[in-house]
Structure 1
Amino acid sequence: MAKELENKVAIVTGGGQGIGRGIVMKLLARGMRVVIADKDDDAAAEAADELGENAPDRVFGIQTDVSDEGSVRDMVAETFATYGQIDLLVNNAGHGTKEPIPVEELTLEDWNRVLGTNLTGTFLCSKHAVPHLRKQRGAIVNIASTRALQSEVDTEAYAASKGGIVAITHALAISLGPDVRVNCISPGWIVVDEWQKRSERKAPQLRPQDHAQHPAGRVGHPEDIAEMVAYLGSARAGFITGQNFVIDGGMTKKMMYAGEG
C-alpha cells in the first residue's frame, strides 16, 4: 500500500499553506513527486524547502494564478517538462471574501474573484492537465467544502463556488471516464493555523465547545483530508468516481439549536 503512489506525479494547487500543505506532505510521504502551484510565491517556495528537505528532487513550487489560463498552462507544461508525467491533480486552491458581505452589497468584482479562483481555477487546471492524466489513467481530486451543502449568513459567492465544484466533479467524471477518475472532498472545520507559511504560523486557539460540537469529538486537521486525497488518487479507489466525500467529523449531520455549540 505504501508504495503504490511511489514516483507518481501530483500537482497540488494552493499547496503552500493550509489543507494544501498537508496534502503535499502526505503525498511526499507516500513517495510521490509533487508540484506546489500557489499564487503566493513565498509560500510555495517555503513549503517546497521545508517539506522536501530530505528529497529536494521530488518537490518544487511554482507561482500560479489558477484563475489565469496562461498561468495554468505554463504550470502544467513545467510540471510535465520536469517530471515527464502527471498522475494526480488536486484542485485545492480557493478563498472567500475577507468578511461576510450582504448580497445587496456584494460587488461583481468580489463575486468574480471568488468564482474565478475556486471554480474557474478548477476548470482551467483540469482542462490543461487532462491530456496528461489520460495517458496515465490518473485521477483528479477537487476540494470543495461543507459550505456547498449548508451556509452561514452572507457567504453567497463562496457557497456558489463550492457548490459548483461538487457539480463539475460529477460532470468531469462522466466526461473523462474510464480514463480519468474524478472525485471531490468537502471538508468541514479544519484547523490550519500551524500549516501556514512561517510568518503567519501560530498555535490554534480552540475551546472545548469547538471540539464538542463534532460527533467525532474534535475539530479536523489537514491530515484528515490528506489521507482521503491519497486514497482517492490510488488504485485502491479504482471503482470510485463522481463522488463527493464529506469529511467534517459528523458536524453537518448534527442538529443544532440556538445557544448550542
Structure 2
Amino acid sequence: MSLRNSVTIVTGAASGIGRAITQRLLADGGKVAAMDEDTAGLEQLSREMAAAAESGALATMSGDVASQDDTAAAVERTCETFGRLDAIVCNAGIMKRVPADDLSYEDWHRVLDVNLSQSFLFAKHGGPELRKSGGAMLLISSSRAFMSEADTESYSATKGGLFALAHSLAVSLSPQVRVNALAPGWINVSGEELRAVDHEQHLVGRVGVPADIGHAAAFLLDGEKAGFITGQTLVVDGGMTRKMIYAH
C-alpha cells in the first residue's frame, strides 16, 4: 500500500498532531476521513485544505472515539464515501492531570476509553476492511509510556497500554495488516513561543512540531517504504528519552 489514493481514518484530526497527520497524508495524495468531536475545527480544516488545493480528498465526520456505535459508523461511512479502507490512525486523546487521590473513577475510565479502548474498537470494526486491503493501523502513544511527570497516572497508563496493544494487534491481524505505534515527545501543538532552555534540553536542539509526527506517521503507513515494519513503537522525541539527567 502506497499513500497515493490510499484511504485513511484519522481520529482527533481537527487540531494538533491529528491535523498534521491529515495534512501530510493529503499532501501525499491520500484520501482522509477526518474524525473529531470538534465540528468547528473540522470545518476549518476542510476550508484550509480546499484553499490549499491539496492533492488528496478529505471527508469529515463528528463522533466519539470511545463509542462503539460511533467507531463502527466511522468505518461504515468511510467505506461508503471512498469505497475502501486502507489505514486507521488512532490519534484522539485526552488528559486529566489530577492527583490520584482526587481523580474520580469516572474520569479515570473516560481517559482509558478515549485513549486506549478507541484502538480496540477501531481494530474490531475496521479490522475486516483492513484485511481486505492489506492495510495498516497506527496508534499514537507517547514517550509517557516510558517516563512520567506527577499526576498523569491515567494518561501514562493508556499510553503504555498502546505500546503493548500495538504489538498484540500486529500479531493478531498478521499477515494482512501491519500495526505500529508512534510515541511523540514534547510536541508544540499550540504554537506558543517557548524558552531557549526548552529547546536546548533536546538532543536535536529544538522542541518538536506537529509536522514531525506527520512525517513519521506517513512513513509507517506507507507499505512500500515500511512494509517490513510491524509491531513496533517509534519514539519521536528529539532524543529526550535517551538523555541521562543529573543534578550538579
For structure 1, list consecutive stretches of 5 or more residues without a partner in the other structure: 195-203
CA RMSD in angstroms comes to: 1.5
**Cα-to-partner distance string for 1:201-238 (whole Å, 9 max, x where unaligned):** xxx12010000000011000111111111111112111
Q: Distance in 1 between matches of 2:67 and 2:182?
A: 24
Counterpart contact for 1:49–1:56, Cα < 8 Å? no
Counterpart contact for 1:210–1:219, Cα < 8 Å? yes
1:88 Cα deviation after fit: 1.1
Aligned partner letter, 2:33: V
- Equivalences for 1:110-259 in 2 at 5 Å? 110-194=107-191, 204-235=192-223, 236-258=225-247
Q: Distance in 1 between matches of 2:47 and 2:239?
A: 35
Match of 1:198 in 2: none
Match of 1:200 in 2: none
Q: Distance in 1 between matches of 2:231 and 2:46?
A: 31
Counterpart contact for 2:5–2:56, Cα < 8 Å? no
SS of 1:52's equivalent in the other structure is: helix
**Cα-to-partner distance string for 1:172-194 (whole Å, 9 max, x where unaligned):** 00000110000000000001114
SS of 2:187's equivalent in the other structure is: coil
1:48 Cα deviation after fit: 2.0
Percent identity (aligned): 46
Distance 1:57 1:222, change over 3 A: closer
Q: Which moved more, 1:51-60 or 1:156-165?
A: 51-60
Match of 1:201 in 2: none
1:122 Cα deviation after fit: 1.3
SS of 2:101's equivalent in the other structure is: helix
SS of 1:103's equivalent in the other structure is: coil
In the superposition, the TM-score normalised over structure 1's length comes to 0.91
Is 1:49 the counterpart of 2:37? The answer is no
Match of 2:15 in 1: 17
Q: Distance in 2 between matches of 1:244 and 1:57?
A: 27
**Cα-to-partner distance string for 1:70-112 (whole Å, 9 max, x where unaligned):** 0111111110000001111100000101xx3111221101101
1:36 maps to which of 25, 31, 34 = 34
**Cα-to-partner distance string for 1:3-44 (whole Å, 9 max, x where unaligned):** 931111011000110000000000000000101110111112
Q: Distance in 1 between matches of 2:32 and 2:93?
A: 19
1:52 Cα deviation after fit: 3.4
Aligned partner letter, 1:78: R
Q: Distance in 1 between matches of 2:25 and 2:169?
A: 23
